[in-house]
Amino acid sequence: MRSYTALIFDLFDTLIDFRRDLMPLIQVNGAEVRSTSRHVYDQFTSVCPGVPFEAFYAAFMDGYREAEQIRARELREITAEDRFRLVLSKLRIPLDAAPSDFPEWLAEVHMAKLSEAMMFPPENLPLLEWARARYRLAVISNFDHAPTARRVLERTGTVGWFEQVVVSAEEGVRKPHREIFVRTLTRMGLSPHEALFIGDSLDIDIAGAKGVGMDVAWVNRNGAAVRDGIPAPDYTLARLSELRQKLDR
């Protein structure tokens, strides 16, 4: 086992759980879905009245799908603001018909609701307290709204423990693109073998961090199998709190 100077964590579903079941439950076209769209719509109609909710919802989802396709294909981030610019263009709302910060404002409403589904598992606090006494810490997150990623960490009281909180919305590139890992290591003055990356996604975290020569710990809560074409993780954890026993050994 290597000894490490730094631990670099993925954010969502590694340090912070994203709980879909805590998102607002709404009725659309006769079906129940979990979505922030009703709350965003309420704000939207205060500026742009007259668009039925179903039409807004269709554009809301189209904008999301289009952003997701670009993210996956090009490994670049489409920010939440850009996604809402897309939504407004699909609704044929000219940008100059609304306040200039309207896309940002809609993104904030969406993120405020989404944040209510972001939970910090209590057992992660003692793990981070142990880690900060022994390692330099950082976060690399694929997320489309950097203030929300920082706010959710602030809520846990641990944000100051991380030297770097690197968010794809600010970097332009997304994991598994090597650039986001290399930039973080460079900012910390580390070479790849000095840091361990900890994340839950094989394609994004494990493939990405391995690709730049870092060791990785895979948080595999569902007992998934390692897949062909993805480098094997150096450690596998059934939950994040197991990291301590792996590294103390």
Which residues of this protein are in contact with Mg ion, per CB under 5 A? 10, 12-13, 200
By beta-carbon proximity to Mg ion, the closer residue of 17 and 66 is 17
The CA-CA-CA angle for residues 123, 128, 134, to 5°, reads 140
Minimum Å distance from CB 237 to Mg ion?
A: 13
Determine the residue with CB nearest Mg ion: 13
Minimum Å distance from CB 198 to Mg ion?
A: 10
Give the Cα separation of 178 and 181 in Å (integer). Answer: 5
Q: What are phi and psi of 109, to 5 degrees?
A: -65, -45
By beta-carbon proximity to Mg ion, the closer residue of 193 and 239 is 239
DSSP state of 228: T
> Coil, helix or strand for 187?
helix
Minimum Å distance from CB 204 to Mg ion?
A: 7
Sign of CA dihedral 231, 77, 90, 60: positive
Minimum Å distance from CB 220 to Mg ion?
A: 12
By beta-carbon proximity to Mg ion, the closer residue of 93 and 180 is 180
By beta-carbon proximity to Mg ion, the closer residue of 40 and 67 is 67
User: In 10 A of CB 74, how many CB atoms?
Assistant: 12
